[in-house]
A and B are shown apart, each in its own frame.
Chain A
Amino acid sequence: MATTSAFKWPWQYDFPPFFTIQKSLNTKDKQLEAWARLVIDYAQHNKIYSLDIAEATTSELFNNQKLNRRLSTDGVNTVLQYLEQKKLIEFTDNGRTRFHIFWRRPDVWANMIYQWAVENAFLNTPLTLYEITHGDDTTNESFHNLEREILMKALTCLEDQRRAQLMNIGGDNEGVKFV
């Protein structure tokens, strides 16, 4: 978790009952919505693409040490279920111990990557996946260091729209050609 500038916590993070799942249904809805927003913003700020539940439960995200308040394991699960339902996260294993966080939807990533390829005249040129997410040309792009699985989802999107052709997937030199 590389932190660049300080993350701006929402006011709810300083509001003690935020860390107790509310019983009143309306209030609980508001609370879960705020938690979802916080998880996404936090992941985006820290460029987190996937998280381990055990790790998340003990991280500052769900623990406010200053207030001495933490969201319980049950609470964390409730928040994650809400996020899953909103298709903002996706569990990566059947045991549900790890999940992807989509702070941008794959199709939004897809558009950004395609835009970059157009602007840098990479159309019709084979590129390796490594070049896109770890190459020197993309160090300033927001998709630099993007996780492979999310990148694949984005590229599949583009392929469906006939704007990209995937090559050698699963092989040594995984690549893509934007058209």
Chain B
Amino acid sequence: MATRRRIGVAAIQKKQETANKFAAKGDQMAGEQLVQFSQQLDQLSAGLEMFAQRHRDEIKKNSQFRRYFQEMCSSVGVDPLASSKGFWAKALGFGDFYYELGIQIVEICLSTTHINGGIMTVEEIRNRLMRTRSRTRKDTISTDDILRAVDKLKVLGNGFELVPLGGGRFLVQSVPGELSMDHSRVLQLAEDAAYVTKELIIDKLRWDEPRATSALEHLVKEGLAWTDEQASDTTQYWFPSLFLQQYCHSSSSTSVSESLHSMSFNNYQ
């Protein structure tokens, strides 16, 4: 009598065959999916690249557009600034943009350290950049661009740091040397008036006297702060970097940059 139940070698072989077929089909499907995925990724890359190429001028000129593009790239996990050799740099000449900006920022910082001791507000860097650039071209530089460029400069070692002032505002520190948390907070406190006093620090930051003294002494020693002994009651500690920014705003003339340039006696005749 024949039963419906198959037994024997043939049956086992048949079972094996089916399993193999399933496995093969599975592999095939996975492979297809992979191909599809990589095709999609290629398409995405190609799309981004095409987008970048098509809007290249726009990206270079328009700071807001640039920022959106940066955000778009970072959301898909691409960093167009990561390498100067990648196709992003090639497609955009984009690396170049920030490298150039970086170099200009380094120049500005170095040429003003004798005034500000090596710290500058991002705003002031921007003002200066715009002034030097406006001679040759009209494109605007945003604060965001400067922060990105300075961030990239870290590759060069710990010479360039962003010191947060709070509220999304930063100082750029271009001299090696650690600014501790305490120093940053003193700078933060000085931001509006461009100066602080020991009493103000003790009062606002609730520090004891030795702590305030040591922070201030460090800032004076590093050339970041100047002392004014002629204030009515106490010594005031002034920050040229913060003062200059306000000075620039109050007098829109270029006299500051001129006087900075003429500081050295090279052109004395």
Interface of A toward B, CB cutoff 8 Å? 8, 10-12, 14-20, 22-24, 26-27, 30-31, 33-34, 36-37, 40, 68-70, 86, 88, 104-105, 108
Q: Which of B223, B240, B263 contacts A37 (CB 8 A)?
A: B263
Contact A11 B247 (CB under 8 A): yes
Contact A11 B269 (CB under 8 A): no
| Cα-based distance from A21 to B115 in the complex (angstroms) | 15
Q: Which of A15, A69, A108 contacts B240 (CB 8 A)?
A: A15
Add 9 more A-B contacts to A20-B228, A86-B265 (CB < 8 A): A11-B247, A17-B228, A17-B236, A24-B220, A27-B223, A30-B223, A33-B264, A36-B265, A37-B259
A20 partner residues in chain B, CB cutoff 8 A: 226-230
| Cα-based distance from A37 to B114 in the complex (angstroms) | 14
| Cα-based distance from A30 to B228 in the complex (angstroms) | 15
Contact A16 B230 (CB under 8 A): yes
Contact B228 A10 (CB under 8 A): no
| Cα-based distance from A81 to B220 in the complex (angstroms) | 24
Contact A30 B114 (CB under 8 A): yes
| Cα-based distance from A68 to B268 in the complex (angstroms) | 31
30 contacts between A and B (CB under 8 A): A8-B255, A11-B243, A11-B244, A11-B255, A14-B247, A15-B238, A15-B243, A16-B195, A17-B228, A17-B236, A17-B238, A19-B228, A20-B227, A20-B230, A22-B226, A23-B220, A24-B221, A26-B223, A27-B220, A27-B223, A27-B226, A30-B115, A33-B264, A33-B265, A34-B263, A69-B228, A88-B268, A104-B269, A105-B269, A108-B269
The answer, yes or no, to whether B231 is at the interface (CB within 8 Å) is yes
Closest to B255 in A: A8
Contact A10 B259 (CB under 8 A): yes
The answer, yes or no, to whether B38 is at the interface (CB within 8 Å) is no
The answer, yes or no, to whether B46 is at the interface (CB within 8 Å) is no
The answer, yes or no, to whether B73 is at the interface (CB within 8 Å) is no
The answer, yes or no, to whether B117 is at the interface (CB within 8 Å) is yes
The answer, yes or no, to whether B34 is at the interface (CB within 8 Å) is no
A86 partner residues in chain B, CB cutoff 8 A: 265
Contact A16 B115 (CB under 8 A): no
Encode B226-269 as 1/0 by CB contact (under 8 A) with A.
11111100001010100110010000000110010011110011
